Structure 1
Amino acid sequence: MLLCDIGNTSYHFNDGKKDFKEFADSFNPQTIKENVYYISVNQSVKEKLGSLENWIDLETFVDREKYYTTMGIDRIVALASINDGVVVDAGSAITVDVLKDGVFEGGFIYPGIKAMQECYKNISNALDYSFNFEVDLGKMAKNSPDAISYGYLKPFVNEIKSKNLPIILTGGDASEFKKLFPNARLDQELIFTGMKKIMKKAGLC
């Protein structure tokens, strides 16, 4: 079984044993002859795959009425892997989605680490610091690096912890946020797990 999560820059494949990636702007999907079950947030790639019979779009098997219209299919599929919890996908942007007793409660989108660091840098070179994920969020900062870290991380952490639900971390910067949520589950296979559950429910496997 070949699964594929397609983003804006890459095809992320999983064959049940290993992951591998291909660049979205150079990969030719016609080179794969077996069936591929995929989701895609990349509209141009999605249109290209529409004519390939062996590429099956799992979005057609998702009940979108449970979510809001513009919500990304990757976020919806990640939630399909759980019944209760807060899913934090720490990528270029950080998406946070809450599921309680199988019902979508809502979520929010937060700037990713690089984006927020660039924001501070654009304000002033004097604010060009890396975030300290081990900063003490229990007290106000008394130096610029910690003040920036506190300002970025404190409201984010408070909002997530206020839900009193299990926290699941995924995405490229998930390991950094694990420092803030030591009891959270780190799961880089979350979307693929969700895809498998959707396929099973639809009778595709």
Structure 2
Amino acid sequence: MTLCDVGNTNATFFENGKITKIRIENFKYFRGDEKIYFISVNDEVTKRLQNSPRFVNLEPYFELDTIYKGLGIDRVASCYAVKNGLIVDAGSAITMDVMMDSMHLGGTIMPGISHLLKACETISSRLKISLNSQIDLDALPQKTTDAVSYGIIKPILLLIESMANGSKIYFTGGDGEFLSRFFTDSIYDRMLVFRGIQKLIEQKKDILC
């Protein structure tokens, strides 16, 4: 079984326990007869695939208990995999979603670390720095590189801590592993979206398989 998570920049595939990525501009139809079950936040790709019997769009089959309007299908899939806790997907954007007894209580979106660094650079060329991932967050910064890194990392961590409110934190996404290091009661799971997809397929196997 092949699963696919189509984003705006990359399409991520999961097959036989292996995760691979391709650029969206290289995304095309694949040879063979096996079905590919996918979710997509990319409207152009979704439109291209809708008439292909091989590609099965899973979005209409998800049923998440929430009143949130406009929740992206990638966030829906991650939430579907978690009964209780805070889900932090740290990529180009950082999304945070709270789950309680399989109910989605709400969430937030903020720019990802790379975009925050670029924003600092637009203010002044002197703020063009590489993130200091080893910065001591318990001491006030004494140089510009550390000041920018501190100013980016600390607010993200404080928001995560506040939204988690003592519950377990599930991290995923490109910067998820880095952020997870700051929390003892956390799990980094690069497979989280696919776990939600697998759960859905198992529940709806009579319809989908």
State the TM-score, normalizing by the size of structure 2. Answer: 0.89
With 71-80 and 92-101 compared, the bigger mean Cα shift is at 92-101
- Residue 28 (structure 2) aligns with: 28
Aligned ranges for residues 46-195 of structure 1 at < 5 Å? 46-63=46-63, 66-162=66-162, 163-195=165-197
1:144, distance to aligned residue in structure 2 (A): 2.0
Q: Secondary structure at the match of 1:13?
A: strand
Q: Are the counterparts in 2 of residues 133 and 177 from structure 1 also a CA contact under 8 Å?
A: no
Q: Secondary structure at the match of 1:107?
A: strand
**Deviating runs (4+, > 4 A) in structure 1?**
none
1:58, distance to aligned residue in structure 2 (A): 0.7
Q: Secondary structure at the match of 2:141?
A: coil
CA separation of 1:68/1:32 partners in 2, compared to 1, >3 Å: closer, same or farther? farther
Q: Are the counterparts in 2 of residues 38 and 58 from structure 1 also a CA contact under 8 Å?
A: yes
Unaligned runs of 5+ in 2: none
C-alpha distance in structure 2 between counterparts of 1:130 and 1:161, whole Å: 25
Q: Are the counterparts in 1 of residues 64 and 80 from structure 2 also a CA contact under 8 Å?
A: no
Q: Are the counterparts in 1 of residues 64 and 103 from structure 2 also a CA contact under 8 Å?
A: no
1:149, distance to aligned residue in structure 2 (A): 2.1
Aligned AA (1:159): L
Aligned AA (1:71): L
Q: Secondary structure at the match of 2:115?
A: helix
1:21, distance to aligned residue in structure 2 (A): 2.4
- Residue 196 (structure 1) aligns with: 198
- Residue 8 (structure 2) aligns with: 8
Q: Are the counterparts in 1 of residues 4 and 39 from structure 2 also a CA contact under 8 Å?
A: yes
C-alpha distance in structure 1 between counterparts of 2:64 and 2:166, whole Å: 26
1:32, distance to aligned residue in structure 2 (A): 4.2
State the TM-score, normalizing by the size of structure 1. Answer: 0.91
Report Cα offsets for 1:7-53 as digits up to 9, x if no partner: 11222111132122233223322534211111000001001111011
CA separation of 1:181/1:32 partners in 2, compared to 1, >3 Å: closer, same or farther? farther
CA separation of 1:5/1:202 partners in 2, compared to 1, >3 Å: closer, same or farther? same
Unaligned runs of 5+ in 1: none
C-alpha distance in structure 2 between counterparts of 1:115 and 1:159, whole Å: 17
The sequence identity of aligned pairs, in percent, is 36
Q: Secondary structure at the match of 2:87?
A: strand
